[in-house]
Amino acid sequence: MQTYKTLIAGQISQLIDSVTAEEIAGWFEYPPNPEMGDLSLPCFKLSRTLRKSPAAIADDFKQRLKLDAVDKIDSAAGYLNFHLDKEVFAGGVIRDILEQRDRYGSKNTGAGKTVVIDYSSPNIAKPFHVAHLRSTVIGHSLYRIFSFQGYSCVGINHLGDWGTQFGKLIVAYQSWGNPDSVNDGGIDELLRLYVKFHDEADRNPSLEDEARAWFAKMEQGDEEALRLWRWFVDISLKEFMRIYELLGVRFDSFAGESFYNDKMSAVVDQLKAKNLLEEDEGAWLVRLDAYDMPPALILKKDGSSLYHTRDITAALYRKETYGFDKAVYVTDYAQNLHFQQWFKVVELLGCEWSSELAHVAFGRVSMEGASLSTRKGNIVKLEAVLQQSIAKTKAIIEARNPEMENVDEVARQVGVGAVIFNDLHANRIKDIDFSWDEALNFEGETGPYLQYTHARASSVLTKAGAEAAASREGLVLTHLNHEAAFSLLKELSMFGEHVEWALNKLEPSVISRYLIGLAQAFNRFYHHCPILVQDEQAREARLALVSVTQTVLRSGMHLIGLESPEKM
C-alpha cells in the first residue's frame, strides 16, 4: 500500500505548494469498510493551509486528480476516498513481491546503522523461567525485524553470572553436594543446593560469612573459587543452550555480568569525577531525587558492585565497541525503574547518546490461570513446557495426517511455534495466560494456524507443479477481481508498513496480528476462488497470488521466529 500512498500523495502534492508528498502519505487512513474505498485522505488536515473547508478541498481534488492506479474518487464528508483500480493494483503487488521475494516489505532504512539487543539474559544456576522465555522470544523477533530493515544487529545475552549468590552456592556445594549429583542434576541440583543454603543459614548464620568469604575470593581471582564458578556457568549454559536450540534462537555475544568485572572501576571514577557519587553510610550512590526516583546504588559498603553498576558499565562498553545507533533491553516491567534510573545516570554522565537507550518492557505470563514463579514449589520448567507442546502437537498431527513422514521435525516446529506465538500475539506490555487449547488450536488466532495456512498454500503450489506457479508473464488479472482476492492483495500490500510500525514501536505483536489478518484473508480467498481450475488463465493468476502469499507469510513468520513447514 505504501507504493500507492506514495503515488497518490505525489500527485496531490503537485496541486499544493506548501505540503510535501511525505506529509500527505502519512495522513492516509484505511476506510473501515471496503465500499468506502481502499484509501482515504482526511482533508481537514489541509484546510488551514488552503483556507477552505475540508468538503470544498475534497470536491476540488476529486475534479483535478487523474490517476491511472485509481478507478474512482469519492468526496464524502471532507474525506477523499480512493478506489484503486483492481487490475493495476493486483499487477503491481504481485510484481513487487515476485521481484523482491524474501526482501519484499523491507525499506532497508537501517542500512549502515547498528542496533544492540540485550535479550533473554537468564541467571546462572537458576531455572530458565518464563520471563526469560518472553524476553528471548521478543528480543529475537526484534533482532529479525531490525535485520530485515537493514540494520546490523548485535544480540547480547547479558547472563546473570556474577554476585554473592555464587559464594552461597560454593558453600552449599562443598557442604551438601558432590560432582556427580551436580553433573547429573544440573540446574535442578544447583537450585536444591541454593535453597538448602538458605534453610541452613537461618539456623546457622555463620554460613553467610563463609559465603561472603568465598565470593570475595572469586572477586580476588582465587583459582578454586573461579573453577567452581565456571563449572556452574557451564552446567547452566548447557541447559540454556538446549532451550535456545529448540527455539532456534542465537546470540552474537554471551558477555554476561562478570564480563564487566575489570571495567567497572573506570566507570566509578568517571562518576566521581562528574561529582555524581555520594557516600551514604559507607555505600556509594547517585541521587536521583530531582527526577523523582530513588537513588541508584553503585557500590555497596564492602565495595562490591551492583546490577546498576554493571548495566552502566556495559552500556558504555557497548557504545564504544559497537558504536550503536540504538540499544534495546528486553525485560519484564518489574524492571522499569531499574532502567529509568540507570538511563538517567548515563545521561548525567554527559553521554548525549543516552536517548538511544530503550527499555522494551513486557507483561507477566501465567499458565492456565496459575502464576508462574520460580519460588519454592511452584516451578514450571520451560523446557518441559516446550517438550509438552511438541508432544501434544505430534499427537494432533498424527491424528490428522497419519501418513506424514517427518512428523517429529514438524511437531517441533509447530509445538514451539505455538509457544512463541502465544508470547507475541498481544501487545507486549499485557499480561498473558497460556492455555494449551488456545495455543495449539489450528483454527484460532495461533501460531499453528499461521503455519497451517502456509502449509495449505505450499500444498496447492506443489499440486500445481513448481513450473506452473513459476510462470508469471502475462497474467490475466481479471481473474483476481473477486472481492476476496482483492482483500488478500490489500493485506499483502500492507506488509512493509507493518514491519515499520513494529520496528518503531519495538512491538513484534504488530507483525503477529498482521499475519493473522493475512492468513484469514488467504483462507477466504481459498474458500471463494477455486485455484486449480481447468481455465489456464484463471489458474495461473490465482496460483501467482497463492505463491506471493506464501512468500509474505513465510517472511512475516520468520520475523516473529516461527518456522514454516511445507506440510502439516
Nearer Cβ to ligand ARG (169/546): 169
Nearer Cβ to ligand ARG (122/448): 122
Q: How far is the CB of 255 from ligand ARG (least distance, A)?
A: 10
Nearer Cβ to ligand ARG (53/336): 336
Quick note: the x/- pattern for ligand ARG over 327-356, rule CB under 6 A, is --x-x-------------------------
Nearer Cβ to ligand ARG (96/118): 118
Measured distance CA(509)–CA(71) in Å, rounded: 34
Give the residues across from 152 on adjacent strands. Answer: 114
Q: How far is the CB of 121 from ligand ARG (least distance, A)?
A: 4
SS (H, E, C) 335-369: HHHHHHHHHHHHHHCCCHHHHHEEEEEECCEEECC
Nearer Cβ to ligand ARG (90/360): 360
Q: How far is the CB of 511 from ligand ARG (least distance, A)?
A: 23
From 169, 180, 160, 176, select the one nearest 229 (Cα to Cα): 169
Q: Which ranges of 221-377 does DSSP label H, i.e. alpha helix?
A: 223-247, 264-273, 307-322, 336-348
Cβ neighbours around 133 below 10 Å, total: 23
Q: How far is the CB of 330 from ligand ARG (least distance, A)?
A: 8
Residue 462 cell numbers, joined: 506443489
Q: How far is the CB of 331 from ligand ARG (least distance, A)?
A: 5
Quick note: the x/- pattern for ligand ARG over 279-318, rule CB under 6 A, is --------------------------------x-------
| Residue partners of 485: CB distance under 8 A and separation at least 6 | 90, 525, 528, 529, 542, 545
**Cα distances (angstroms) measured from residue 54 to each of 60, 135, 298:** 10, 46, 58
Sheet with 296-299, edge to edge strand ranges: 277-280, 283-286, 296-299
Per CB under 6 A, the list member of 5, 86, 158, 513 interacting with ligand ARG is 158
From 147, 332, 160, 336, select the one nearest 252 (Cα to Cα): 147
For residue 305, the 8-state DSSP code is B
Nearer Cβ to ligand ARG (241/532): 241
Q: How far is the CB of 254 from ligand ARG (least distance, A)?
A: 13
Nearer Cβ to ligand ARG (330/553): 330
For 436, half-sphere exposure in the C-beta direction (CA atoms, 13 angstrom radius) is 10
Q: How far is the CB of 360 from ligand ARG (least distance, A)?
A: 11
Measured distance CA(234)–CA(182) in Å, rounded: 11
Counting contacts by CB under 6 A, is residue 564 touching ligand ARG?
A: no
Backbone angles phi, psi at 298, to 5 degrees: -105, -45
Quick note: the x/- pattern for ligand ARG over 95-124, rule CB under 6 A, is -----------------------x--xxx-
For ligand ARG, the binding residues in 247-286 under the rule CB under 6 A are none
Q: How far is the CB of 346 from ligand ARG (least distance, A)?
A: 12
Per CB under 6 A, the list member of 37, 54, 160, 508 interacting with ligand ARG is 160
Contacting positions for ligand ARG (CB under 6 A)? 118, 121-123, 158, 160, 311, 329, 331
